[in-house]
Structure 1
Amino acid sequence: MSRIVLVHGIGQQVSGGRTLVESWYPCLADGLALHGVQVDRAEVDMTFYGDLFRPAGHRGVGLPDLDASDVTDDVEREILLAWWQQAARQEEGVAGPADRTRLRTPYIVQRALNALSHSSFFAGLSERLMISSVRQVRRYLTEPAVRREVQSRMTAVVTDRTEVVVAHSLGSVVAYEWLCAHAERRDITLVTLGSPLAVRNIVFDRLQPAPVRGRAQWPGGVGTWWNIADRGDVVALVKALGPAFGDRIEDCLVHNGAKAHDVRPYLTARETGEAVVTGLGGGGDGSRGGSGRR
């Protein structure tokens, strides 16, 4: 009967709900400790759906041998190009789509993968991991059966005692859509971390319920919504959700160091701690002072 429900993002297909919550909980506890608040481990649970994206067994070792030729879907291609453009804007060492002098391959997807492999954000990730990541986003957004099953995982975890939902990356899309569909869950505080919710033409326009005239529906059961993003987070292409989802959102910027999209520094941030404390009925310590807000 958890007061706090966590929702993970992409890349967790070989993990598990218990494993993840044990990994996330100490970081969450550190963020809360900055405000003098403790929450028992038993009051925190995880909505886990990574197994839905785990490939079936095959003759090779590791992930299926994906390469640029396997990226034929328009959504997957658009996600890769959006990440590439953002990485190029943020890092001088990453060649952008208009720079053909350093990346000579004629295929736009291969050029995107090559460029991203040289970015600090995707350093160490193989092409197959990057492709697998974009494929998970595409499958959730375009395959109704996958979406329904992920949403059912959320239903199984959120209870009448749940006060705060903390959702990272693709998990913020999962949580948003679930909360829109379950307006009977009153006074929930939603905390989104590194969210791609406002990325138009990829995520925003495929949300359920669909936005109307450029504005998305407010999730009816949510009383307070904090959105927290690192300026260097390539996945959270649009840092402020307020313009698209409503002025009631508290949009905050944080600094996560070299791992801009990693959930762990997001959870240990003072701003995240304040958001969760507020959702649990506390007032926070007021020390943010607006310096991290946009």
Structure 2
Amino acid sequence: MSRIVVVHGVGRQLDTAETLLAEVEPALRGGVGLALRRDPTLGRLADGDMSCAAYGDLYRQPGTRGEPYYQAADVELGFEAELLEAWWREAARLDPRIPGPDAPGPNTIGPAARGGVGRLAGRPLSVDWVRRALDALTRTRFFGAVSDRLLISDLKQVRRYFTEPGLREAVRARAAELITPDTRVVVGHSLGSVVAYEVLCALGPERPPLTLVTLGSPLGLGGLVFDRLQPAPEQGGSGAWPAPVKQWTNVADSADVVALVRELAPRFGPEVRDLLVHNGSEMHSMRAYLTAVETGTAIAEGLAR
């Protein structure tokens, strides 16, 4: 059984566990290799140490080729519009050249939008507003390589995970079946960090200790993600700590628009080790995160435990 389980994020509908492993394994080995150059006493990788929890096929629509041809009008009011706005505001904060939601421009949903689209329940969502958001995001270094169609698809995948219990359960089952007593490290990227966290929270403390490594994680995003987690955060606002996890390292790029809250320690406790990296133009790329020496060190430490 694999000592390392990797859980991917959205946008991998055409991948299987085998195709993901072909991409992930060289990157992860590269990051661990860099870590071993710094500290040869860390844990090393062996053949067969790695597996990928693939769930993208659960999002594929039967009888279709690829993704539906989503357009601005397909973005739904509520979760999707709020997440889109959150990404948009962060992109504008990171790059002053990108106009934010409050900049002058077409806004047919009215002044109330200045306070956040989440306050517009029951009112139609302006297509012009969505187009402004999409235009702004496609000017960023990461989303600039993503079409509007795929960006909207990503919004819908995140929304569906949190609002469709059957899908959520099926996604988590893909990861849970790979985590065995032999597993020492679980790596979750983007939405995969949410999946990994929820799966580990469902495990009891009696199993062997684990290391959790989260990459480009949205776990700390209040309202849309953090407050929807299972188990729910405690009344004081602290997220539950997964019982089997003895070490948790969270790695985030300082310009990652998706990882809106880059430090998870304030949400989940000071035991979380938050690290910043610089992935260049691939700030949210799973490959770029895995090849970072910080990620490799966290994984190698977990293997050495």
Q: Distance in 1 between matches of 2:3 and 2:46?
A: 10
Equivalent residues in 2 for 1:48-67 (5 A)?
A: 48-58=54-64, 62-67=66-71
Counterpart secondary structure, 1:280: helix
Q: Distance in 1 between matches of 2:67 and 2:10?
A: 15
Q: Which residue of 2 aligns with 1:29?
A: 29
Q: Which residue of 1 aligns with 2:186?
A: 165
Residue of structure 2 aligned with 1:230, choices 250, 253, 263: 253
Task: Give me the TM-score of the superposition, normalised by structure 1.
Answer: 0.91
Counterpart secondary structure, 2:167: helix
Q: Which residue of 2 aligns with 1:254?
A: 277
Q: Which residue of 2 aligns with 1:156?
A: 177
* Paired residue type of 1:89: R
Q: Which residue of 1 aligns with 2:119?
A: none
Q: Is the 8 A contact 1:186 1:222 kept in 2?
A: no
Report how far residue 15 of structure 1 moved. Answer: 1.1
Q: 5+ residue gaps in structure 1?
A: 283-294
Question: Which shows bigger deviation, 49-58 or 238-247?
Answer: 49-58
Q: Which residue of 2 aligns with 1:15?
A: 15
Give the CA RMSD over aligned residues.
Answer: 1.4
Counterpart secondary structure, 2:143: coil
Percent identity at matched positions?
49
Q: Distance in 2 between matches of 1:256 and 1:22?
A: 21
Report how far residue 126 of structure 1 moved. Answer: 1.6
Q: Distance in 2 between matches of 1:41 and 1:129?
A: 35
Aligned residue pair count:
278
Q: Is the 8 A contact 1:76 1:135 kept in 2?
A: yes
Q: Which residue of 2 aligns with 1:292?
A: none
Q: Which residue of 1 aligns with 2:83?
A: 79
Q: Is the 8 A contact 2:184 2:210 kept in 1?
A: yes
Higher relative contact order (CA 8 A, sep 6+): 2
* Paired residue type of 2:56: G
Match status 1:240 vs 2:263 = yes
Report how far residue 63 of structure 1 moved. Answer: 2.4
Q: Is the 8 A contact 1:14 1:51 kept in 2?
A: yes
The Cα offsets for residues 82-109 of structure 1, whole Å up to 9 and x where unpaired, read as: 00000011112211011124xx464322
Equivalent residues in 2 for 1:1-294 (5 A)?
A: 1-36=1-36, 38-58=44-64, 62-101=66-105, 104=106, 106=108, 107=126, 108-183=129-204, 184-212=206-234, 213-281=236-304
Report how far residue 186 of structure 1 moved. Answer: 3.1
Q: Is the 8 A contact 1:226 1:275 kept in 2?
A: yes
Q: Is the 8 A contact 1:25 1:41 kept in 2?
A: no
Q: 5+ residue gaps in structure 2?
A: 37-42, 109-125
Q: Distance in 1 between matches of 2:66 and 2:273?
A: 41
